[in-house]
Structures are given as structure tokens and as C-alpha cells.
Structure 1
Amino acid sequence: MQVLCMGEALIDMLSDKGQPGITDATESFRKFAGGAPANVAVAVAKLGGESYLFGKLGKDQFGHYLHRTLEALEVNTAFTTYSEKGKTALAFVGLDADGERSFDFYIDNAAHTDISEADLVPALFEKPRIVSFCSGSVSTPDLRKVTLSAIDGFKAAGSILCLDINLRPAFWAEPSLAPYFIDETAKQVDVIKASKEELIELYGESNIDGQIQNWMDSGVSLVLVTDGANPVAFYSHDTNGIYPTPPVSAVDTTAAGDAFVGGFLFTLAEVVQDKASFVAWAGNFESIMSSLRFATRCGAHAVSKYGAFDALPSRSDIELK
């Protein structure tokens, strides 16, 4: 199946602080193509899958750079257009000694938020696909309206929907509304990926199990919960368990979650043909474990490299491990 990623592509300005000899006075930032949905699309393409990005870029030097880079990496840009009024968003990324990130977003008048009902062209819904998006797609009233319409269209087409929570409070016009709207959106999808840290921030540590159960009761087929270097937990209607992550020396965790999601969806796209075959797949312990084995290797590879697109692995990178 094809993987269609909906949402932002932006520029990560990555700090070199933390490298030997770099101080506040000498710190500099290097441009990297990024944005979680774009990262997932690139991850699938670099692994050999067929992926699309549905979103908007600024008609500026950064937007043109992103478009060229996506096409060079064989992401299909048929649904990637330019905003007539928005600028490409920037994310300045600081790294600590362990490669952990801190973000400062510059997203006022961002091109990726300039999505309207007119952008939901019929070709988006002409066939079943695996559709991946993040909570940023429901972070403002206008985005929520368009995203919910898109979800209806994708579901009618028989697509498999995956929500990576990927919580970015700076994206939210009203951050206090994030728990409610993420919950409402999550109840409409087939696969949810969240980090334990995100679930604690959104719903409180004591409520995590109940929240997952609520999602399962609403019809979600599979929930994946990552926890940094700790094992990945998974929950489906028929089975659950954990899978350990490979040991790795992390230098930059920017693309870790996106590499994991991309790797997971790539394996899914190889073995399912439609919604019915996905539901059967999601109830099989060995199938999930096999996909997690591949996806965790993708995540481990990504944290060993700097940047987002640049850090995402090819199929040979994973098979050689």
C-alpha cells in the first residue's frame, strides 16, 4: 500500500553546541529539512516504499529547498503545494550532551497551516492508503476543520489511519485544549503512536492505562507507546507486549520517533492490502513483533546521525545491522 503523510514540512536549524570546543560564543546552526510528517514520508521512501506528502510549503527559499529535497528522496509531491501567503516554518533545535532536543519554533503565518477544504482534492481519496498524521494537524480551529473532513474522506476510501501524537505545545493556539482534541481525534484512527512522556503530560501518569483502554474501546486497533531507550509497549484487542530497543550511542534524537513510525508503516504497507487485512494483522503477536523489530532498528539508526532527513535509514542500513 502507499503511505500518505499529512502535515508539515519545515526547516530544522540544528545547533552544534555540545560538540567539542563549541561555546555560547561560537555556537552556530545548520539547516536541515524536517517536520514530522515529512520525516515519515522520507523514511518510507528511503526504505523503498511508496510515499506522498500532503501539505503546503512557503513560496520562499526554504520551501523550494524542501520541495527539491523531497523529490530527490523520491517522496511523491503530487499533493505538496505552495502557500500564497504563509512562510516555511523554522524550528531551532538545541541538543544536550545526550543528544536530547529542545525546540524553539518560529511558526507565525506558517505555510503548513494554510490548508483549506479546497485542498482536499478528489485524488486524495481515490484509493485506500495508509495515512499518517500528527496532532499538529488538529492544533488550531481551522486545521481541525480541514483535518476532520480529510479523515472522513480517508475513512470512506477504506484507508488505514495512523496518528503519531508528537506533542508540540507551541503549535497549539490554546495548549489547554490539546488533551481533549487529541483524544477526540485519536478515537477515529486505527493506529496510535505516543511516547510515555507525552501521555503523562496530556493525561497524567496514573491515567495512562485507562486512556489506552478508552482508545481501544472506541475502535482503535493498535496503540504503540515508546519510552526513549526503554522497551516499546504495544496494545491491541487480541494481544499486547513489549519489545526492547537496540543499544545505541545517541548524538541527535530529532528524527528518532519519525524513523520509528516510518519503519513501522513501511513494514505494514508491505503486508496489508486493505482495512480488513490490517485488522487481522493487528491481532497477530508475531506480526507486530516483527514490525517493531524493524521499526526500533530504524529509530536506533536515526539517533546515531545528525539531522532529520539525513539521519533516516535505507533498507540496507537496517539489514546490515
Structure 2
Amino acid sequence: MTHELLTIGRISVDIYPNDIGVDLEDVTSFGKYLGGSPSNVAVAAARHGRRTGVITRTGDDAFGNYLHRELRKFNVDDTFVSPVKEYPTAVTFCAIKPPEDFPLYFYGRFPTAPDLQIKAEELDLDAIRDAGIFWSTVTGLCQEPSRSAHTAAHEARPQSGLRDGQYTILDLDYRPMFWATEKEARAQIVRILPYVTVAIGNDKECAVAVGEGTPDEQADRLLAAGVEIAVVKLGPEGVMAKTRTERVISAPVRVKTVNGLGAGDSFGGAFCHGLLSGWPLAEVLDYANAAGALVASRLSCADAMPTPDEVTSLLAERGRMAPGQFVPATYAPEGAAL
């Protein structure tokens, strides 16, 4: 099977509290979900009808079996998911204290985790080469052997960029607990950016990758590094995407936040769906923004990923049109004022 989207990297069991608005020590019951950003992105795109798969590793244990079952439930190909006997499946706890406080607690990731044991010689480079979109994260570069596997995967991708209708996306996804210093992370990002056609990150993640600056300055540095589309998340101001010929801003889709942890992964899966659909960049952003907002308004991540009907319904409720129906007022050619 040729995948429309193939992701690589983190997977875990997310343990989320059923008690909202309290500290973790006061939670009395929890729910169990599939987690890990690249795995969630694959689930999100599958909810939009895309053929997706994930390259990752679990422990050889009951939680690993659970993750296989969940991937299959969400129609994500688990062919490239295999167990590592030496390490248990990673587990992530969080507290849910909306609207902005969602602290994460990682277990089974130190000094390493199964999904950081992906080895270059184990990769199916043909599957990676043929995928419409290949998605990776900065976290996968934090240690060996995962770092070398990510490098080999990126080197296998077509280097002609957007002309082939294929995309290699790097989620800048910087998490300081996995790195000794920001300098170390930046060195690895700089090495991988020449193989990337799309980079996605918020202000802090872009600052680690290419330095502090305005969103436009950060986007321009990503483009100068070889990226074709730079996506900079603007927090409450929405999200900006920039290419060498256009600059697009999508205003936020306002919702009541329940759990903001899965919003970025939902955004990513919907963004991939929009690229694969051939929509204009402005429409891709608006659709992805709405998909992210929907998950932010729900408790879980993977289980909360929306369908296309749910995304277009939310856009309609907010007076915003679905892809193919509008020319957004937020579009401006590069250099023009908004």
C-alpha cells in the first residue's frame, strides 16, 4: 500500500483525568487513550479519509498491544510498528486545567523510550520514498538510534519538492526535557531542514530552530534554509503560512477550550489533508485551524479527531466557508500589509 501520509516517531499511552480543573494529585479517575504527536497526526488524517501509517516502536507489553489495537481502530496502518523488548511502552499523564494549563508528565521515556529505538537499517525506504507526505518531529532527532533513522528517512525522500506533489513535513515540536540544550536541538534541526519542504511550529519552536524574531522573520529564515512552506502558529492571533510568493494568515476559530494538548496534532492531520486535496494555502490553513479548535474543545486527543463534516460545520457556524467556496480576506501577497 502506498501511504498518502506516513509519520515517524513518538507513540504512547495517554492517561488523561476524568476530573477537570484539579491538580493531578487530586484526580480520582482516568481514561486511557492512544497518544504521541506523530501517531495522533496519522489518526487525524485518517479521520479525513486518508491512507495513513506510522513508523514507531512500543514496548513488548500489554500497553504495546493496546496501541496496535487503537491504531487499527482508527484505520492507521501499523505494519511498521514493532516491539522493543528492553523498554516498556511510554505512558504520559496530564492534568487538565482549562483554558491554558495542561502540564504533561512523561513516564518510560528516560533515559530512552521504545520509539527512540527506531533504527535506520529497519526502515522500509521504498514506503518512505513513495508516501505523498512524510511527517517527522524534532523530538525524533533528540538521540540515537532514532536520529540516524530520521536522517536516513529524509535522505530517501524525493528532493524535487513541491513539483512532484509530495511533501516532507517537519513538526518543530521542541520539548526541552528531551534535549540537553536548545543549541543541541538547533544543530540537529539545521542538519535536517534542507530535506524538508514544510516546517510547522509556534514562536518558541521557531526560535529554537532559526532564532528569535517576528513571525515573518522566522518564516523567512525557514524559507532561506530550503523550506518551501513555513507555517508559524501565532497563538491567539491564528496562524501564518509563508512561501516565496505568498503570505497567508488565518484568524483563530474561537471555542471553549477543554484540553488544548491535541489541537496541534489535529491541525497537522487536517493540514496534510488539505495539501493532498490540492487546496490553496489559505483554505488549507482555515480548515486546519477549525480542526484544531474542535479537538481543543474536547477531552481526548486521538479519539477526538474530527471528521470533514464536523470541520466544515464549525466553519459554517463561525460564518467561514469550507474549502473551495471562498477567497479569504486574510490573504495578502508577500510584503503587503494586512
Aligned to 1:10: 12
Aligned to 1:274: none
Q: 1:110 aligns with which of 90, 110, 113?
A: 113
Aligned to 1:184: 191
Aligned to 1:193: 200
Q: Which moved more, 1:157-166 or 1:307-316?
A: 157-166
The correspondence of residues 250-261 of structure 1 with structure 2, limited to 5 A, is: 250-261=257-268
Deviation per CA, 1:256-284: give whole Å up to 9, x if none.
0010010010111123xxxxxxxxx8xxx
Q: Which moved more, 1:114-123 or 1:230-239?
A: 114-123
Q: CA shift at 1:187, angstroms?
A: 3.3
Q: CA shift at 1:14, angstroms?
A: 1.7
Aligned to 1:119: 122
After superposition, the CA RMSD in angstroms is 2.3
Aligned to 2:311: 318
Q: CA shift at 1:208, angstroms?
A: 5.4
**1:318 corresponds to which letter in structure 2?**
V
Once residues 88 and 242 of structure 2 are traced to their aligned partners in structure 1, the CA distance between those partners, rounded to angstroms, is 39
CA 1:94/1:216 → structure 2, altered by over 3 Å: closer, same or farther? same
Q: Which moved more, 1:251-260 or 1:175-184?
A: 175-184
Q: Helix, strand or coil for the counterpart of 2:277? A: helix
Aligned to 1:298: 291
The correspondence of residues 1-321 of structure 1 with structure 2, limited to 5 A, is: 2-19=4-21, 24-106=25-107, 107-108=109-110, 109-125=112-128, 127-155=130-158, 159-172=166-179, 174-200=181-207, 205-206=212-213, 209-271=216-278, 287-321=280-314
Q: CA shift at 1:122, angstroms?
A: 4.1
TM-score, normalised with respect to structure 1: 0.87
Given that 1:3 and 1:269 are in contact with CA atoms closer than 8 Å, whether structure 2 keeps it comes out as no
Once residues 13 and 66 of structure 1 are traced to their aligned partners in structure 2, the CA distance between those partners, rounded to angstroms, is 13
Q: CA shift at 1:209, angstroms?
A: 4.2
Q: Which runs of 5+ in 1 are unaligned?
A: 272-280, 282-286
Once residues 299 and 114 of structure 2 are traced to their aligned partners in structure 1, the CA distance between those partners, rounded to angstroms, is 25
Once residues 191 and 141 of structure 2 are traced to their aligned partners in structure 1, the CA distance between those partners, rounded to angstroms, is 10
**2:283 corresponds to which letter in structure 1?**
S
Once residues 214 and 204 of structure 1 are traced to their aligned partners in structure 2, the CA distance between those partners, rounded to angstroms, is 9
Once residues 18 and 202 of structure 1 are traced to their aligned partners in structure 2, the CA distance between those partners, rounded to angstroms, is 34
The alignment of Structure 1 onto Structure 2 pairs a total of residues equal to 306
Once residues 269 and 26 of structure 1 are traced to their aligned partners in structure 2, the CA distance between those partners, rounded to angstroms, is 41
CA 1:38/1:23 → structure 2, altered by over 3 Å: closer, same or farther? closer
Higher relative contact order (CA 8 A, sep 6+): 1
Q: Helix, strand or coil for the counterpart of 2:213? A: helix
Q: CA shift at 1:52, angstroms?
A: 0.8
Consecutive aligned runs of 4 or more in structure 1 exceeding 6 Å deviation: none
Q: Which moved more, 1:193-202 or 1:183-192?
A: 193-202
Given that 1:86 and 1:114 are in contact with CA atoms closer than 8 Å, whether structure 2 keeps it comes out as no
Q: Helix, strand or coil for the counterpart of 1:87? A: coil
**1:13 corresponds to which letter in structure 2?**
I
Q: Which moved more, 1:33-42 or 1:110-119?
A: 110-119
Once residues 219 and 260 of structure 2 are traced to their aligned partners in structure 1, the CA distance between those partners, rounded to angstroms, is 25
Given that 1:57 and 1:87 are in contact with CA atoms closer than 8 Å, whether structure 2 keeps it comes out as yes
Once residues 194 and 126 of structure 2 are traced to their aligned partners in structure 1, the CA distance between those partners, rounded to angstroms, is 25
Given that 1:6 and 1:53 are in contact with CA atoms closer than 8 Å, whether structure 2 keeps it comes out as yes
Given that 2:98 and 2:259 are in contact with CA atoms closer than 8 Å, whether structure 1 keeps it comes out as no
**1:302 corresponds to which letter in structure 2?**
V
Given that 1:196 and 1:226 are in contact with CA atoms closer than 8 Å, whether structure 2 keeps it comes out as yes
Q: Helix, strand or coil for the counterpart of 2:87? A: coil
Q: Which runs of 5+ in 2 are unaligned?
A: 315-338
Q: Helix, strand or coil for the counterpart of 2:195? A: coil
TM-score, normalised with respect to structure 2: 0.83
